[in-house]
Amino acid sequence: MAPPHQRAIVSVTNDLVTDNRVHRTSMALVGLGYDVLLVGRILPGSAPLERPYRTKRMRLLFNTGPLFYAEYNLRLFILLLFARADLLLANDLDTLLANHLARRGRKLVYDTHEFYTEVPELVGRPMVRRVWLAIERWIFPKLRTVITVNDSIAKAYRDRYGNTVHVVRNIPMKRELGPVPDRSALGLPEDRRILVMQGAGLNIQRGVEEAVLAMKDLPGYLLLLIGGGDVLPVAEQLVAEHRLSDRVRFVDRLPYERMMDFTRNADLGLTLDKDSNLNYRFSLPNKLFDYLNAGIPVLATDLPEVAGIVRKYNAGLVIPTADPALIARAVTAFFADEERMRLTRTNATFAARELNGETEMRKLVDVLMNA
């Protein structure tokens, strides 16, 4: 437990609404006795926020690009420099610089949610990547407490910098979701197989376009794309170009419980990241655990973390790459095998019971207690 009147400031660059990992971290600190302030930013259309700890969402002049990162880190640096806090917790590399510069002898915990300098948005922009890599190389070896989301990324960071890196996976805490609503209540067809791909990061190189194109060969199926991301305009264009509006439906970002109403009504969850960069190769996305918690099987590309779980529990099927023809053939064959469908659905439910967020929460608390 933290001594009386200890304060912690947790920072992240998003609007706090859907970041369950940061919420879990904040709750872990509250449980340890810290007075927590969670800092993010407010965006046009950001939903109201109610949390059992203090929050601050900065209103910025810039929302994207270098000026956004510069403004955010300057504002965060000033806030941290003059705030009374005993522990600072930086989420991802885009908050680490401000936290490091404002540290002044205080405890600093770094939670890197991905292999940041290897994300496709940076790999394709070498000049920008060099800037972030320089920041990482300067600060990372000085860090005492580092957390990340899976063993593959932890090993990559250990190999690169030599630090001890703790693993706390993005497995959601168990939530009581209530009865599954009827499809009709959600405007979903009763007579079609439903595929779902969801998350806040429906971005390039994550198989969204290929999933849409696979629908050309899947009459009688419906693909739900739930959430947000930079690839959605491309996906919408593909739907229009190939006249797939009766087979692909876009659903805006939703609160978790409402999103899971749709997920639990689906028949197969898709996670189709490409092996185009180290970050995606090592990714272990939240949607995998959402699918398992919904009791639906998973169709995954053959990447080590995700495919490893699908194979270990026999909770779905794995394809070599996110190719539209491969996706369509795999889906057709899967739904033609009633016994396999039944078995993998049962196994998904079992995997969800074994892969529980409570275990990860205990690991997180232990790391924070010893920071």
User: What tens digit of pLDDT does each residue of 178-214 get?
Assistant: 899 999 999 999 999 999 999 877 888 899 999 999 9
d(CA 76, CA 100): 11
Res. 123 pLDDT band, cuts 50 70 90: confident
pLDDT, one tens digit per residue, over 38-63 is: 999 999 989 899 999 999 999 999 99
Q: What is the pLDDT of residue 139?
A: 98
Query: Are 7-173+357-369 and 183-354 the same fold in CATH?
Result: yes
Average pLDDT value for the chain: 94
DSSP 31-69: HTT-EEEEEEE--TTPPP---SSEEEEE--S--SHHHHH
pLDDT, one tens digit per residue, over 148-177 is: 999 999 999 999 999 999 999 988 888 888
Q: What is the pLDDT of residue 288?
A: 95
Name 299's bridge partners: 270, 317
Residue identified by tokens 């920071």 is 371
C-alpha distances (whole Å) from 119 to each of 125, 151, 156, 201 are: 10, 17, 14, 12
What does CATH list as the number for 7-173+357-369? 3.40.50.2000
Tell me: pLDDT of 81 over 70. yes
- Superfamily of domain covering 183-354: Glycogen Phosphorylase B; (3.40.50.2000)
Q: Which of 225, 180, 171 is nearest to 203 (CA)?
A: 225
d(CA 273, CA 294): 20
The backbone region for 294, taken as left when phi is positive above 0, alpha when psi lies in -120 to 50, beta otherwise, is alpha
Q: Which of 45, 41, 43 is nearest to 55 (CA)?
A: 41
- Helix, strand or coil for residue 197? strand
Q: What is the pLDDT of residue 5?
A: 75
Tell me: pLDDT of 2 over 80. no
* Burial class (CB within 10 angstroms; exposed 0-12, middle 13-18, buried 19+) of 97: buried
Which residues, other chains included, contact 244 with Cβ-Cβ below 8 Å and sequence gap of 6+?
212, 215, 216, 238
Residue identified by tokens 């879990």 is 24
pLDDT, one tens digit per residue, over 273-313 is: 999 888 889 988 889 999 999 999 999 999 999 999 999 99
103-107, 170-174, 224-228, 303-307: range with lowest mean pLDDT:
170-174
The 10 Å Cβ neighbour count of residue 206 is 28
d(CA 136, CA 117): 8
In the chain, where the domains are located: 7-173+357-369, 183-354
d(CA 364, CA 367): 5
d(CA 241, CA 243): 6
- Helix, strand or coil for residue 174? coil
